[in-house]
Copies of this chain bind each other. A is one copy, B any other.
């Protein structure tokens, strides 16, 4: 899964059916310091993720499993809000500290 930061939101009134119940998040991968890097992409929110939270994003066909509908035309869904990330036993992100 991608290790990402929620950096924004997108809205769309003209879209394929079935997408309306979900918020469309704008995300970026993060570097070792937790800073967003690279190009932004979109994912469906299925866990109630908020701005600046660090999340796990499933891409490709398994993303449809996050909404329980294998016929939805999506390829990315946030499947978890991370509480803590440690790299080499060093705490690099803790949710409460950041808020």
Contacts and interface: CB of A to CB of B under 8 A. Distances in A.
Q: Work out how many copies of this chain go into the complex.
A: 5
A65 to B, nearest CB: 4
A45 B27 CA distance: 24
Interface string A13-40: 1111001000010100111100001111
Interface residues of A, number: 62
Contacts of A85: 8-10, 26
A84 to B, nearest CB: 5
Contact of A76 (B1, B15, B24, B77): B1
- Which of A10, A13, A60 has the most chain B CB within a 10 Å cutoff? A10
Interface of A: 1-3, 7-16, 19, 24, 26, 29-32, 37-43, 46-48, 51, 56, 58-66, 68, 70-77, 79-89, 92
Given A8-B86, A8-B87, A24-B56, 16 more contacts: A3-B41, A7-B87, A8-B85, A10-B56, A12-B56, A12-B81, A13-B83, A14-B80, A16-B47, A29-B39, A42-B56, A58-B75, A60-B61, A61-B62, A64-B65, A74-B79
